[in-house]
Amino acid sequence: MYDVIVVGARCAGSTTARLLAQQGRRVLIVDRAQFPSDTVSTHCITPGGVTQLRRWGLLDRVLATNVPKVYSFCLTIGPSEIRDPFGVSEEQVTVSPRRTVLDKLLLDAAAEAGAEVKEGVTVKDLQRQGDKVTGIVGHDDAGVTLDAEAKLVIGADGTHSFIAKTVGAEVYNERPTRGSGYYAYFTDFPMDAVELAFNEGNFAGIFPTNDGETCVFAGKDDSEFADMREDPDAGHQEIVATANPRLGEARAAATRQSRWFAFRTTPGFYRKPYGPGWALVGDAGLHKDPVTGHGITAAFRDAELLAGAVHDGLDGDDLEGRLAGYQARRDELSAELYDTTQEIAALGWSDASLLDTFLRFGGAAMAEVEAINAFG
């Protein structure tokens, strides 16, 4: 029997598995994908997440994949550009690796820590004794059945989590969003900053990523997504240029190197992240809109919180109470980040109200860095 089975091997799942394995726990981590594997993502690891990577000894590995450290941030709201509203320092650095790179790196680190990894495994059901989850039932790509038991099953399987749906995890604080669009990877788009730009209901995100490429997001109200789908290239260009003319000129001169990746509006929500024999982490337990580019950092933060709670409680020392504490701390640290992100994603802002909301978001992100520093 395993101490923990983690379903989902991306940022939240691999991190949780690695931290528990480092504590000597017997951990199995499964994912239906084979890695390296891509997924829709805003890429950016904000300062709190970079702090964790540095503490875990993984930041140099990430940087070795030829992804730049970025010290600067530029926010455009209407005609106004605001550069580095929260200052520039080593504490404010971001990195934006491709998920094909980052997720593989994190999974390999989990395996090095002692976690057992099974890729290409689809979980079809949960084992139970009464109302308690006791394991998983699934199969690999060849159709070979996998039955595995554990003291705890952790769902790190994303927004549409099979684990969360199967256990009936309670949803609360659901908030709508409206933005949809496309992103792609470009060369000849030199950037020394992460940039977010908003104007007339259009928004764009610029993230310098691996091998000299830049990931460029563009979106607007979901009701107009069908128009974008007819010609993503033209629609993407128009949105970027409307959000910030300077970025529009850079986009027009750049060369697209990838296919288009679509992202669609999904309501934000919290789920109760634990119950008898199960727990949730990452987007499975808390999903907010990607418009602020904070999802990976949130996954790292909550993985560290959950791993600590599980390790402390797994030997019978009030696991339920520890998991309740994890939920409370997760909700406390994420509250302002979640509220401001969902306000931005609702697209109903004026320039003045949007600036105020971003300043609140930035203050919450800086407070999060302080809290994450205290984890170590």
Q: What is the pLDDT of residues 83-107, one digit of tens each?
A: 987 766 777 899 999 999 999 999 9
When pLDDT is averaged across residues 45-67 and rounded to a whole number, the result is 97
DSSP H/E element including 341: helix 319-345
Mean pLDDT of 268-292: 97
Q: What is the mean pLDDT of the chain?
A: 95
The answer on 186 and 126 residing in a single domain is: no
* CA 264 – CA 2 distance, rounded (Å): 37
- Check whether residue 103 and residue 218 sit in a common domain: no
Spatial distance between the Cα atoms of 253 and 238, rounded to a whole number of angstroms: 13
Residues 353 and 319 both lie in one domain:
yes
Q: Tell which of 210, 234, 263 closes a domain.
A: 263
- Residue 352 binned pLDDT confidence (cut-offs 50, 70, 90): very high
Domain co-membership, 53 together with 8? yes
- What's the CATH number where 68 sits? 3.50.50.60
Domain count within the chain: 2
Does 276 lie in the same domain as 258?
no
**Model pLDDT for residues 72-88, shown as the tens digit of each residue:** 999 999 999 999 877 66
User: What CATH number has the domain bearing residue 208?
Assistant: 3.30.9.40
Write down the pLDDT at residue 77.
96
* Residue 153 shares a structural domain with residue 239: no
Last residue of a domain, one of 228, 248, 263: 263
One domain, residues 31 and 117: yes
User: What's the length of the chain?
Assistant: 376
Instruction: Give me the mean pLDDT over the 202-219 stretch.
Output: 97
213 and 299: one domain?
A: no
Residues 287 and 222 in one domain: no
Assign residue 188 a region: left if phi > 0, alpha if psi is -120 to 50, beta otherwise? left
Residues 56 and 160 in one domain: yes
pLDDT tier at 185, thresholds 50, 70, 90:
very high
CA atoms within 13 A on the CB side of 146: 24
pLDDT digits (tens, 9 = 90+) for 11-38: 999 999 999 999 999 999 999 999 999 9
Do residue 96 and residue 232 come from a single domain?
A: no
Q: So what's the pLDDT on residue 88?
A: 64
Residues 142-147, mean pLDDT to the nearest whole number: 94
Q: Average pLDDT of 173-191?
A: 95
Identify whether the C-beta of residue 75 lies closer than 8 Å to the C-beta of residue 196. Answer: yes
**Which domain, by its residues, includes 88?**
2-175+266-375
Local confidence band at 317 (pLDDT 50, 70, 90 cut-offs): confident
pLDDT at 190: 86
**Do 246 and 157 reside in the same domain of the chain?**
no
The pLDDT score that the predictor gives to residue 14 is 98
Do the beta carbons of residue 242 and residue 200 sit within 8 Å?
A: yes
Residues 6+ apart with CB under 8 A from 37: 31, 99, 100, 103, 104
Domain closes at, from 219, 247, 263: 263
Which pLDDT band, with edges at 50, 70 and 90, does 374 fall under?
Answer: very high
Mean pLDDT of 50-73: 97
pLDDT grade for 59, boundaries at 50, 70 and 90? very high
* 324-346 mean pLDDT: 97
